[in-house]
Amino acid sequence: MKETLRLGRMAGVSVGLHWSVLVIVALVTVSLAGGRFPDAHPGHSAWAYWSLGLLAALVLLASLLAHELAHAVVARRNGVDVDGITLWMLGGVARLRTEAATPGAELRIAAVGPLTSAVAGGVFTGLALWLDSLRVSGLVVEAVAWLAGINIVLAVFNSVPAAPLDGGRLLRAFLWHRTGDRLRATRGAAAAGRMLGWFMIVTGFAAMVLAGDPSGLWPALIGWFLISTATAEERQAQLRGVLDDMPVSRVMTRDPVTVPATESLAALLAEGAFGRYRHSAFPVLAPDGTASGLVTVRLVNRAPIHARSTTTVAEVMRPLAEVITVAPDDLIVDLLPRLEASKDRRALVLDGGRLVGFVSLADITRVLSWLTASAPHHP
């Protein structure tokens, strides 16, 4: 899930929003301000209903963020690298760069999410009771009680033993501990996730068709998400089995063709497809020989034709901070999801800050095709 707006860093983790967050904020606000609040506490102004509805929607997002931050913090404490967190329409996603090394670490990372939501639900429940005892406006108490209920629902739903829910990761940790086979455990959790997904799709559409309830679209949509994500997780686990801890150094292009940061775009293009520049992306080197970024044909094409003789590669390249970098000993299976989610689908291989190689998604795909073809097939 690619972020649309970056919010910054919290607890050392990059946090961003996907544009679809606006959908859930709007739906929650409308459902509360246009339905639940006026029905439960009539007589207030429209401004009160809508402002409180919007505030409740934003606090819900904060609760989702707390849930994902808990995953990220515990993951880092258990030796798992975290790329960041993205909030979107159906909740949040903590992007883990690597996997837990043991079933115990997997259990701790998975369990902390529902626990955080449950604690939030308890805190909001206590706050609602306290506000009610102080005779605070019933409308405010209603909003806090709703937040308590939704957090408890999130805790319970996320505990269902089906991937990619937290309960599915708990199931995988249990199966992994029982069998000692992480791939087999992942397949079991993924199968449970697909079963739950199809159940939600069928019941959701049944509610819409048979009962005329348009809200059935939500479980159907969540069911589709569960199926697609559980299948993707199973595929990722299978890739780990095929790649078998293969390092990046096995597939990278060593001593790749590089481009000086000070070279003009006109000079770069003058080499053409028949010169030494036969590719569509190149590492860029600073005058001192260190890697400074990545330049692609697409980035060059953004520069006006009349300015290419005076525009340098450094002015259009993607800076090193925005480029995926790996070490030669890093695992391909950990790099693969990062490349798939990146803009350029390429990574620079650095050894102590020195450029030693270049790897693209196509490089890994070719290797994977050969390994898959040569791997023994089990019935």
Q: Are 223 and 314 within one domain?
A: no
Q: Is the pLDDT of residue 97 over 80?
A: no
Nearest-angstrom CA–CA distance, 291 and 320: 7
Residue span of the structural domain in which 33 resides: 5-243
Provide the percentage of residues in the chain whose pLDDT is more than 70. 95
Between residues 252 and 81, the one the model is more confident about:
252
pLDDT band at 331 (very low <50, low <70, confident <90, very high): confident
How far apart are alpha carbons 103 and 280 in whole angstroms? Answer: 42
Top mean pLDDT of 3-12, 78-87, 344-353 is at 344-353
Tokens 């967050």 belong to 21
Q: What is the mean pLDDT of the chain?
A: 89
Phi, psi of 174 (to 5 degrees): -65, -50
Domains of the chain: total: 2
Question: What confidence score (pLDDT) does residue 179 get?
Answer: 94
- Does the annotation mark 68 as catalytic? yes
Listed residues 197, 217, 243: the one ending a domain: 243
Q: How many CA atoms lie within 13 A of 259 on its CB side?
A: 34
Q: Is 171 found in the same domain as 38?
A: yes
pLDDT for 101 equals: 87
Same domain flag for 161 and 271 = no
CATH code at position 288: 3.10.580.10
**Do both 362 and 219 map to the same domain?**
no
Q: What is residue 264's DSSP assignment?
A: B
Residues 222 and 120 in one domain: yes
124 close to 145: Cβ distance less than 8 angstroms: yes
Residues 90 and 199 in one domain: yes
Over residues 281-297, the pLDDT tens digits come to: 999 999 998 999 999 98
Whether 200 and 265 map to the same domain: the answer is no
Q: Which of 3, 68, 106, 234 is catalytic?
A: 68
d(CA 231, CA 310) in angstroms, rounded, equals: 49
Model confidence at 56: pLDDT above 90: yes
For 304-321, what is the mean pLDDT?
94
Confidence band, pLDDT 50/70/90 cuts, at residue 3: low
Mapped onto helix, strand or coil, the DSSP state of residue 87 is strand
Residues 37, 186, single domain; the answer is: yes
Token digits for 125? 């429940």
Summarize pLDDT for 182-204 with one digit per residue, the tens.
889 999 999 999 999 999 999 99
Question: What pLDDT, on a 0 to 100 scale, did the predictor assign at position 98?
Answer: 75
104: pLDDT strictly greater than 70 = yes
| Res. 372: pLDDT tops 80 | no
State mean pLDDT over 12-19: 86
- Strand positions, DSSP E, 28-81: none
pLDDT at 4 over 90: no
329 and 202 in a common domain:
no
> What's the pLDDT score for residue 378?
47
pLDDT for the residue numbered 353: 83
Residues 68, 178 within the same domain? yes
For residue 379, name the pLDDT band (cuts at 50, 70, 90).
Answer: very low
Average the pLDDT over 353-358 and give the result.
Answer: 92
Do 284 and 293 contact (CB within 8 A), yes or no? yes
Edge-to-edge strand ranges of the sheet holding 13-17: 5-10, 13-17, 82-88, 91-96
Residues 6+ apart with CB under 8 A from 338: 83, 97, 324, 347
Same domain, 168 and 20: yes
pLDDT at residue 375 above 60? no
Q: Which of 213 and 149 is assigned the larger pLDDT?
A: 149
Average pLDDT over residues 241-248: 81
Is 80 exceeded by the pLDDT of residue 243?
A: no
CA-nearest of 357, 328, 358, 331 to 345 is 358
Examine residue 234 and state whether it is found in any structural domain, yes or no. Answer: yes
- What's the token pair of residue 204? 């959701």
Q: Are 13 and 82 in contact (CB under 8 A)?
A: yes
- The pLDDT assigned to 177 comes to 94
The secondary structure of the chain in percent helix, strand, coil, rounded to multiples of 5, reads 60, 15, 25
Question: 323 or 273, which is more confident?
Answer: 323
